[in-house]
Amino acid sequence: MSSLQCDGTQCVAVVEKWSCDCVCFSGVCREGERLVVGPTDEGRFLRLKVGSIQRNRSACRVLRAGQAATLALGNFDRSLLRKVRGHMT
């Protein structure tokens, strides 16, 4: 299982999807994988699909330990993500 830390989120207005800037601490994250994000303030975890990965503004399919990237996470209720305390696994 990979471990990621999310540093910030932003909305890509053109496609109306959310993305997350993160660092992979261990393991591997691939396009199309589902991440478990959380916990939220209610103690829940969200399952979000990685739509795409970009490193240095270039598309890539895999994020490995020690690398930073932006993950496109698709459409979801951002108010839930705001409450996440920073870690994704």
Q: Bigger pLDDT: 65 or 15?
A: 65
Strand residues in 2-57 grouped as ranges (E): 3-12, 17-26, 28-30, 34-37, 46-49, 52-55
**Whole-number Å distance between alpha carbons of 63 and 53:** 8
Confidence at 84, pLDDT banded by 50, 70, 90: very low
Predicted confidence at residue 60, as pLDDT, reads: 94
pLDDT of 83 strictly over 50: no
Instruction: Compute CA 32 distance to the chain's CA centroid, rounded to the nearest angstrom.
Output: 12
Look at the chain and report how many structural domains it folds into: 1
Instruction: Give the CATH number of the domain where residue 59 resides.
Output: 2.40.30.10
21-43 residue pLDDT tens: 888 888 999 999 998 877 777 78
| Three-state secondary structure readout of 46-86 | EEEECCEEEECCEEECEEECCCEEEEEEECCCHHHHHCCCC
55-66 residue pLDDT tens: 988 999 999 999
- Expressed as residue numbers, the domain containing 18 is 3-88
In the predicted model, what is the mean pLDDT of the chain?
A: 78
pTM, two decimal places: 0.75
